[in-house]
Structure 1
Amino acid sequence: MKLGCTLYGETFHFSSVKEVLSKANEPKSGDVLAGVAATSPKERMAAKLVLSELTVQDLRENPSVPYEEDEVTRIIQDDLDLTEYEKFKSMSIGELREWILAYDTTSQMILQGSKGLTSEVIAGVAKLMSNLDLMYGAKKIEVFAHCNTTIGGRHIFASRLQPNHPTDNVLGVTASLLEGLSYACGDAVLGVNPAVDTVDSTTAVLNVLHDVQERYGIPTQSCVLSHVSTQMKAAEAGTPIDLCFQSIAGSQKALESFGVSAAMLGEALALMEERASSQGPDYMYFETGQASELSSASHHDTDQQTMESRCYGLARHYHPFLVNTVVGFMGPEYLYDGKQVIRAALEDVFCGKMHGLPMGCDCCYTNHMQAEQNDMDNLIAIMAAAGCTYVMGIPEGDDVMLMYQTTGFHDIQTIRELFGLHPIREFERWAETMGILENGRLTARAGDPTIFQ
């Protein structure tokens, strides 16, 4: 295994596969903060060159966190399809990149082969790709999942309707919910971030969401994004829950900082299989975001993009209905500006789809970042071109509870019309019967929540 090279007369040597992966990563302020970033563009290119010649086997046998120390590593390694791994283990990461991007490599071929690839391998491939490579690679991969409806497919651009409220007031949640529905948003999920993580608050909001679904016959699924243990208690008490949510991370130590473990996620899935108010068989919803491990000092001297890919290795173990990166939520300490946010979003969607996940993206930023709404306009268009499964829909793109900026109801329909995309088919037919959509376009009734009477 060669861990060094000479580039333009300068010799570079890297101490480990982990260091190669870290220094081959595109510039991220979080990697600089962690002290794992390349110190110059030349060193970054040297690391990419070394990485391109390492094999799938090299990366599999050198996980970012040792197998004996970390349950995320164990899940990634133990879930590996060894028959598929044998087909790829001698292939270099550069050759794997070429295979994925080849015109005759299909979605089915990639999804089948990726069962034999660890998360570090998938992260390594992404590091060798340009933004356009990531878009092309992600677009090729079609992933489907079913809860109450079926998400995925080349012509679907879905949305999570996010009617958050700063005090979880059910009337405020309902007003925002009905407005979003009137713009044909919410086909991926009706998902509320609670201001207060209690069983009572979670139950109250879940009941509101479920009541609206039932009253108006809306083919979608609902979720309150409280801690998984809170949702489990609500489910055990008989509260209707379509999807069970949890934020996840790429190391055991980071998971523990969230108050969660792989065993707890398994318990939640088992409970949902028994008591979910949805059809299934896909009952879980996970959110991620580059650098959550660094923010909790749980990154094990690993770059944030590799750790993010490990999140997806964990997620695929539970066959989720939805996964999305909240790409710019962590702030400029981790992704400094709009350029870094866009790159991270492309990496995340590509790596997520390579893991066989129905991957979405919260195209977002915090107000102290070097980013603006035009960056998010660029990003949502890039995500649509890259085959991103869904994005967020929030009034005016301004979340009044979480205090960050994302995409609004109008943005989603604009993208659908620009790219010839549709909501999830079942939801689209419902919106047409409500007079909200006609021939793929919003009607004069759109934006009028009084239609729900």
Structure 2
Amino acid sequence: MNTKTTVLGQTYQFRDLKEVFAKANEDKSGDQLAGIDAADSRERVAAKQVLADLTLADIRNNPMVPAEEDEVSRVIEEGINEKIYNEIKNWSVAELREYILSHQAGDNELKRISRGLSSEMIAATAKLMSNLDLITAASKIKVVTHANTAIGHKGVLASRVQPNHPSDNVQGIKASLYEGLSYGIGDAVIGINPVIDTADSVKDILNMTKDVMTKFDIPTQNCVLAHVSTQMRAIRNGAPADLIFQSLAGSEKGNNAFGIDVALLDEADELMRKQGTSYGPNFWYFETGQGSELSAEAHHGMDQVTMEARCYGLARKYNPFIVNTVVGFIGPEYLYDSRQVIRAGLEDHYMGKMHGLPMGCDVCYTNHMKVDQNDMDNLGILLSSAGVNFVIGVAMADDVMLNYQSTSFHDIAAFREVMGLRPAPDFEKWLEKMGIMENGRLTAKAGDPTIFM
């Protein structure tokens, strides 16, 4: 494996694959914080040049976190289709990138070859792509999943309605939910982040959302984004959960910091198959985000893009209904400004889709970042053009419980209208029945939550 190259008369020798991957990454404040970023643009180009010439076999044969030491590595390794891998193992990363972007590689072919790729191989191609490349490649991949209803069809932009409340007041949550529904938001999931992480509180919220779904015959899914173990207790106590949620990290140590491991995820998966209330076969909702492993000192000296890709390698094991990166939630320590946030959102969406995942994005930021709502508008439009499965809507784009900025209900309505996209098919029929939408456009009733009172 060659890790040496010369750029403009200067020779660069990288010590191992970790260093090549880290220094080939686009500029990220998280990699700077970890002390693994390229010193300057010339070193970044040199690392990209070395990475481009590496074969897929080089990457697999030189694991950055050995499977013997990390269960996420084991999941990724065990998930590789050996027949497909053997077809392409001698390709360089540059050749794989060119093939992904070529006209001959359509939706089905990209899904097929992805089964022979490790997460690190997919991350490697992302490092050699421009933002437009990331959009072009991801836009070719359509991943349709089904819980109570199906999302992911061509021409569909689904949405999670996120009616969070600072004290988990059920009536307050319901009021925000009604507003979101009135804008046509919520076809992916009604998903609440709870303040109180107890089984009883989670059960109360799940019962309320299920009651609303039943009363108005709403074709969607419900979920409360508590810790997976809390949700499991609520489900065993009779709570009606259509999806089960958990945040993921790209290493075993990172997941331990979240209080989870593969055995617990397997147990939750089995529970949902026996006691979940949606039809399935897709029951999981996973969230990720660049930088979480560094926060937990669990990144093994690897860059945040590669670690993020490994989250998707773990998620792929469970055939989830939806996955999203909470792209700007952690803060400027990992993504400093709008340029870095936009790049990360496009990277994450592409890498998720290349894993065959139903990838969405929380287009968001915290108020101490060099980002504003105009930047979120830009990223929302870019992801919509890239075929993102869903985005997240909160009242006025301001989450009063999690204290961060996201996209509003009416922002998502605008994304759909500008890009010629529609809600999920069953949900659109329901919106038409309620008089909220007609011929793919919102009516005068839209935005009026009193229609549910």
Q: Same fold (TM over 0.5)?
A: yes
Tell me the residue number matched to 2:337.
337
Q: How far did 1:393 drift?
A: 0.7
Q: How far did 1:274 drift?
A: 0.4
The answer to whether the 8 Å contact 1:187/1:220 transfers is: yes
| Cα displacement string for residues 34-79 of structure 1 (whole angstroms, at most 9, x for unaligned residues) | 0110011000000000000001111112222111100000000011
Aligned pairs for 1:140-155 within 5 A:
140-155=140-155
| Cα displacement string for residues 279-323 of structure 1 (whole angstroms, at most 9, x for unaligned residues) | 000000000000000011000000000000000000000000000
The answer to whether the 8 Å contact 1:123/1:305 transfers is: yes
| Cα displacement string for residues 323-356 of structure 1 (whole angstroms, at most 9, x for unaligned residues) | 0000000100100001100000000000000000
Tell me the residue number matched to 2:286.
286
In the alignment, the residues of structure 1 paired with residue 425 and residue 58 of structure 2 have an alpha-carbon distance, to the nearest angstrom, of 43
- Letter in structure 2 aligned against 1:43: E
In the alignment, the residues of structure 2 paired with residue 399 and residue 325 of structure 1 have an alpha-carbon distance, to the nearest angstrom, of 17
Aligned pairs for 1:231-380 within 5 A:
231-380=231-380
Q: Is 1:28 aligned to residue 31 of structure 2?
A: no
Tell me the residue number matched to 1:117.
117
Q: How far did 1:440 drift?
A: 1.0
Unaligned runs of 5+ in 2: none
Tell me the residue number matched to 1:131.
131
- RMSD of aligned residue pairs (Cα, Å): 0.6
The answer to whether the 8 Å contact 2:76/2:118 transfers is: yes
Aligned pairs for 1:37-48 within 5 A:
37-48=37-48
| Cα displacement string for residues 6-26 of structure 1 (whole angstroms, at most 9, x for unaligned residues) | 010000000111111110000
- Letter in structure 1 aligned against 2:6: T
Tell me the residue number matched to 1:86.
86
| Cα displacement string for residues 343-385 of structure 1 (whole angstroms, at most 9, x for unaligned residues) | 0000000000000000000000000000000000000000001
- Letter in structure 1 aligned against 2:186: G
Tell me the residue number matched to 1:406.
406
- Letter in structure 2 aligned against 1:75: V
In the alignment, the residues of structure 2 paired with residue 104 and residue 378 of structure 1 have an alpha-carbon distance, to the nearest angstrom, of 30
Q: Is 1:444 aligned to residue 410 of structure 2?
A: no
Tell me the residue number matched to 1:73.
73
Aligned pairs for 1:183-222 within 5 A:
183-222=183-222
| Cα displacement string for residues 93-120 of structure 1 (whole angstroms, at most 9, x for unaligned residues) | 0000000000121110010100010000
Tell me the residue number matched to 1:160.
160
Q: Which moved more, 1:306-315 or 1:411-420?
A: 411-420
Where has structure 1 moved over 6 Å in runs of 4 or more?
none
- Letter in structure 2 aligned against 1:6: T
Q: How far did 1:447 drift?
A: 1.1
Q: How far did 1:200 drift?
A: 1.2
The answer to whether the 8 Å contact 1:18/1:62 transfers is: no
The answer to whether the 8 Å contact 2:153/2:424 transfers is: no
Q: How far did 1:151 drift?
A: 1.1
- Secondary structure at the counterpart of residue 165 of structure 1: coil
Q: How far did 1:153 drift?
A: 2.1
Number of residue pairs aligned between Structure 1 and Structure 2: 453
- Letter in structure 2 aligned against 1:263: A
- Secondary structure at the counterpart of residue 67 of structure 1: coil
In the alignment, the residues of structure 2 paired with residue 258 and residue 105 of structure 1 have an alpha-carbon distance, to the nearest angstrom, of 37
- Letter in structure 1 aligned against 2:198: T
- Letter in structure 2 aligned against 1:53: D
In the alignment, the residues of structure 2 paired with residue 64 and residue 228 of structure 1 have an alpha-carbon distance, to the nearest angstrom, of 29
- Secondary structure at the counterpart of residue 180 of structure 1: helix
In the alignment, the residues of structure 1 paired with residue 400 and residue 388 of structure 2 have an alpha-carbon distance, to the nearest angstrom, of 25
Q: How far did 1:449 drift?
A: 1.2
In the alignment, the residues of structure 2 paired with residue 141 and residue 199 of structure 1 have an alpha-carbon distance, to the nearest angstrom, of 38
- Letter in structure 2 aligned against 1:438: E
- Secondary structure at the counterpart of residue 68 of structure 1: coil
Q: Which moved more, 1:241-250 or 1:151-160?
A: 151-160
